[in-house]
Amino acid sequence: MEERKLIFASNLIRLRTEAHLTQAELAERINYSDKSVSKWERADAMPAPAVIESIAAALGVSPEDLTEPHGGWQKCEARFHVSTANITAVVQLGIWTLALLLFVIFWMIEKPVWLFFIAALPVSLTAMLILNALWFDRRANQYIVAALVLSLFLLIYYIFRAYTPWKIFLLLAPAEAIVFLSHHILKRKK
């Protein structure tokens, strides 16, 4: 279907410009909006067969001139393949490398600050959640969110360990229950 859209778009652009018509002028002739013509020329949509006949009549060509390949756009092979797994790995390594760099800098100045690694955990999990939602299986998001909640509790405990007793972790069980139950609020249709 995509190839048909590209062929149609290529032919439409060529034939419309050869007829010295703007998108708006062609749209007016076929009683459509110029936005529709633009969408067809970008290969975002394909008009119905009756509309193709109207376009062909407006341009003074046959419908086949619009739908058959005529040396327009060629389907080209991509030279590069984007590896989403590698992008995710680079982002994760970047976050942990930054945490290590800050740890080493502070270690050289005075003493090691382990907080950078604990703070990197929620940052890393947030990045993983975003990238997972974009590219991977979204069903894993509930587990990433659960790990993110746990890491935030660890971070809060570490920052306020002098003031906050271990009892803060009693809130962890209801928080995790909220995460898992909220994932099941919407029921999937069968």
Q: What is the pLDDT of residues 25-50, one digit of tens each?
A: 999 999 999 899 999 998 888 999 99
- Please enumerate in sequence order all residues whose Cβ is within 8 A of that of 83, keeping only pairs 6 or more positions apart, or say none: none
pLDDT digit string, tens, across residues 74-113 = 444 455 667 888 899 999 999 999 999 999 999 999 888 8
Angle, vertex CA 11, rays to CA 5 and CA 13, nearest 5: 100
pLDDT value of residue 75: 46
pLDDT digit string, tens, across residues 118-129 = 999 999 999 999
Exposure letters 96-133 (e unless 16+ CB within 10 A, then b): beebeebbeeeeeeeeeeeebebbbbbbbbbebbebbe
pLDDT digit string, tens, across residues 141-185 = 888 999 999 999 888 888 887 776 777 778 888 888 888 888 777
**Its pTM surpasses 0.85:** no
CA distance 69 to 2: 13
CA 119 to chain CA centroid, Å, is 26
* Dihedral of alpha carbons 66, 67, 71, 74, sign: positive
Tell me which H or E stretch contains 77. none
pLDDT value of residue 160: 81
Which residue type, as a one-letter code, is found at position 141?
N
Q: Which pair of tokens denotes residue 15?
A: 């034939």
Check if the beta carbon of residue 149 is closer than 8 Å to that of residue 183. Answer: no
Which residue type, as a one-letter code, is found at position 96?
W
